[in-house]
């Protein structure tokens, strides 16, 4: 922005008065969203409290859900006429470009079939493989060697740490649809400050696995039920540097996986040797608390979408001690050290929002989010997660 000729000699006391937000200013995005949301609310929409970018409107003959990300909008409805009326209204207020049925959104490819809706990121995955020059590399069938132990001090420092950070950052976005990369990417992202050669080698191993199925994604079947169930697990004291445990969970709506996470826990457990068994249960209990928070949020989101979920969500855990802590309201010396926020599991259990069940470790789907697994075990768990590759020849 340049000063007009007559304004240059007015002295430093003169300033510009901003009449409206201009593209490039810091407040533009907030002002744009405030205007867009107020326009939708005036048109009868309700803004979700669980996701502020989600707007819904329920009428006698139609239901519309609208999701917005900056200036990209997705509209879902059971009434085509209602969608047409909404787009005409928005076009009268804003200048819109209708891109037709949803096929591509923020790097996510959407496809429909007689079985359901599938999402993948093949185009984005192929771009990563091409930029990393691994299109000619040998394939591997699992994302990380189960015998590999990465540490902060092993190996030589990389001459160009930016390339590692950029690669891992791009892999993080791939985990939106590739849940099998969650643990590997979570582990690799812990060395962003000082990456070393073993870390880069492990990242390239992930790329070689990605090359084997770049079109892999998730299938959401049309005939799936609307019942929440979750699997939670932890790998106790998994970090060799600071001995923190890893939390992993996945949540299904019927047969469709809709949420998952792999994350290092914030606390160090097992400092007292005689309480090692208890500390393992505590790590599992913290994982259960994490998935309980996710279920609570998902239940609220289902309410915003006008979907009823009267029954308790099922939570599967393979640790009997953690299950007893969740269901037993008695606080004794082996559990009184656990922070109160973790006991929200007991609160939600008492309210009937969740129901905890035991599952054998061999059938614990959350294992894939807490540790690197052998190839056969890895693919056995992947086969139970409704993973699909629509680009693979049948």
Domains of the chain with CATH codes: 31-100 (no CATH), 119-212 (no CATH), 224-369 (3.30.420.10)
Tell me which DSSP letter residue 273 carries. G
Supply the pLDDT for residue 251: 94
pLDDT of residue 389: 78
Looking at residue 234, its pLDDT comes to 86
Got the DSSP string for 178-233? -GGGHHHHHHHGGGSSS-BHHHHHHHHHHHHHHHH-TTEEEEEETT----EEEEEE
Report d(CA 238, CA 183) in Å as an integer: 12
2: β partners: none
- Tell me what pLDDT residue 133 has: 86
Q: Note the pLDDT of residue 273.
A: 36
What does the block give as tokens for 104? 């591509």
CA 60 distance to own-chain centroid: 34
Per residue of the chain (394 residues), what is the pLDDT tens digit?
A: 566 666 666 666 666 676 666 667 777 888 888 889 999 999 999 999 999 999 999 988 889 999 998 888 999 998 899 999 999 999 988 888 888 899 999 889 999 888 889 999 999 999 999 998 888 889 988 898 888 888 888 888 988 899 999 999 999 999 999 999 999 999 999 989 889 999 999 999 999 999 988 888 999 998 888 899 999 988 876 666 667 788 899 999 998 999 999 988 776 554 443 334 345 777 888 888 899 999 999 999 999 999 989 999 999 998 888 888 777 756 555 566 566 666 788 888 888 899 999 999 888 999 999 888 898 999 889 888 888 877 765 5
DSSP states along 141-177: SSSS-TT----TTSSPBPS-HHHHHHHHHHHHHHTTT
Residue 70 per-residue DSSP state: T
Beta-carbon-side half-sphere exposure of residue 168 (alpha carbons within 13 Å): 22
Task: Tell me the sheet residues that pair with 112.
Answer: 117
C-alpha 356 chain-centroid distance = 23
Instruction: Check if the beta carbon of residue 320 is closer than 8 Å to that of residue 72.
Output: no
Which residue is it, tokens 């984005």?
124
- Name the residue among 257, 254, 325 with its Cα closest to residue 289: 325
* pLDDT for res 275: 38
Q: What is the radius of gyration, based on Cα positions, of the chain?
A: 25
HEC readout, 294-308: HHHHHHHHHHHCCCC
């Amino acid at each position: 922005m340049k000063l007009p000729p007559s304004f240059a000699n007015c002295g430093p006391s003169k300033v510009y008065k901003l009449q409206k937000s201009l593209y490039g200013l810091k407040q533009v995005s907030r002002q744009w969203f405030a205007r867009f949301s107020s326009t939708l609310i005036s048109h009868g929409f309700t803004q979700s409290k669980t996701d502020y970018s989600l707007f819904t409107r329920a009428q006698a003959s139609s239901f519309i859900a609208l999701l917005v990300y900056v200036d990209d909008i997705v509209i879902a409805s059971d009434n085509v006429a209602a969608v047409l009326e909404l787009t005409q209204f928005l076009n009268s207020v804003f200048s819109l470009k209708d891109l037709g049925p949803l096929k591509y959104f923020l790097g996510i490819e959407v496809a429909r079939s007689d079985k359901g809706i599938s999402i993948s990121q093949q185009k984005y995955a192929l771009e990563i493989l091409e930029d990393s020059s691994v299109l000619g590399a040998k394939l591997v069938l699992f994302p990380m060697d189960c015998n590999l132990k990465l540490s902060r001090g092993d190996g030589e420092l990389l001459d160009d740490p930016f390339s590692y950070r950029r690669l891992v950052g791009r892999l993080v976005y791939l985990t939106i649809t590739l849940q099998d990369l969650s643990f590997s990417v979570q582990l690799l992202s812990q060395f962003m400050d000082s990456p070393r050669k073993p870390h880069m080698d492990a990242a390239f191993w992930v790329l070689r696995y990605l090359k084997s199925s770049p079109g892999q994604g998730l299938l959401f079947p049309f005939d799936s039920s609307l019942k929440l169930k979750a699997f939670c697990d932890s790998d106790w004291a998994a970090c060799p540097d600071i001995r923190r445990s890893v939390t992993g969970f996945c949540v299904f709506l019927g047969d469709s996986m809709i949420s998952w996470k792999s994350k290092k826990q914030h606390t160090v457990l097992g400092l007292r040797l005689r309480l090692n068994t208890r500390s393992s249960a505590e790590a599992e209990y913290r994982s259960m608390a994490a998935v309980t928070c996710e279920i609570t949020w998902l239940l609220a989101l289902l309410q915003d979408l006008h979907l009823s979920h009267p029954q308790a969500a099922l939570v599967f855990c393979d640790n009997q001690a953690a299950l007893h802590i969740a269901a037993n309201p008695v606080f004794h010396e082996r559990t009184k050290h656990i922070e109160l926020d973790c006991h929200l599991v007991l609160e939600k259990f008492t309210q009937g929002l969740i129901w905890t069940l035991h599952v054998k470790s061999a059938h614990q789907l959350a294992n894939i989010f807490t540790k690197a697994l052998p190839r056969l075990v890895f693919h056995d768990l992947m086969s139970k997660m409704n993973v699909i590759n629509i680009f693979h020849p049948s």
